[in-house]
Chain A
Amino acid sequence: MDMATRDLESDVRCIALTGRLDAPGADHIDTAFTAAAVASGGAVLVDLSGVSFIASMGIRLLIAGARGLHAKGGQMVLFGAQPLVYTVLDQAALDQIIPLAGTQQEALERLAA
């Protein structure tokens, strides 16, 4: 499980996750992901296009990061989930908690909305 952070224009941080967001994967990046998301304090996009698998521990990681960021006045939007990953996120009704966009551009538009 890998994680890469880059700052986009206009104070938007993008965190790209790559690999399996299963229990070991979520545990591996837990501290780094939460720190990168919460420390921004602003807008964070999470690029899921490189995530091939997600289970409940991975979803918990996303929720914990979004909740921490929200508490600091920031906002998180997820984008780019592969079809099978998207199905699981949909079954978990995650989009009721964290907005889920198709592309990075759509994610940026969700931030502006």
Chain B
Amino acid sequence: MTDSAAGLRLQVVPDHTALEPTRLAVLAYLAPYALSAQAVYAVELVLEEVLTNQIKYAFVGRVASAVALSVDVDAGDVVIAFEDDGHAFDPLQAAEPPWPSSIHQAQVGGLGLVLVQRLAKATCYERAAEHNRLTVTIDRGG
């Protein structure tokens, strides 16, 4: 775990036990920036949804390696990037389940990634050199 001048850099073990320490480390890093409550909420939701998705799916059938997480803050935004060497997967293409109109139709798979896209200002997925890289930009003001 290092905190460079460029921002926070973490290697996150893809396991559910890593979620809470990662959340707390990111919140501690962001504390001096006095983000809006909406922005902090969005950061926490993005961390949980993306990391949970990577834990579940990125390394199925292969040895799991750490997810490289970076958090940077500029004048207007918080930029969070997740990079892993797991299976090629574009979460932005997977994230639009049909909305149910009744409780009987409710299929909630994929909801987490939909929420990420709706709370983020921008999202970007790249696959390069056998790595997935998802970048999520959150407005500091919410």
Chain A interface secondary structure, helix, strand, loop or mixed?
helix
- Nearest CB of chain B from residue A64's CB, rounded to whole Å: 9
A-chain residues with CB within 8 Å of residue B118 when the two chains form the complex: 91
* Chain A positions within 8 Å of B52 at CB level: 23, 57
Tell me whether B111 and A92 are in contact (CB under 8 A).
yes
* Interfacial chain A residues near B20, Cβ < 8 Å: 24
B112 and A55 within 8 A (CB) = yes
State whether the Cβ of A30 lies closer than 8 Å to any Cβ in chain B: no
Q: How many residues of B contact A (CB 8 A)?
A: 25
- Report if A96-B111 is in contact (Cβ < 8 Å); known contacts: A24-B16, A56-B49: no
7 A-B pairs besides A92-B115, A96-B102 with CB distance below 8 A are A53-B41, A55-B45, A67-B104, A87-B38, A88-B115, A91-B115, A97-B102
B residues contacting A by CB (< 8 A) are: 16, 19-20, 37-38, 41, 44-45, 48-49, 52, 99-104, 106, 108, 111-112, 114-115, 118-119
Report which A residues bind B (CB closer than 8 A): 22-24, 53, 55-57, 59-60, 63, 66-67, 70, 84, 87-88, 91-93, 96-98
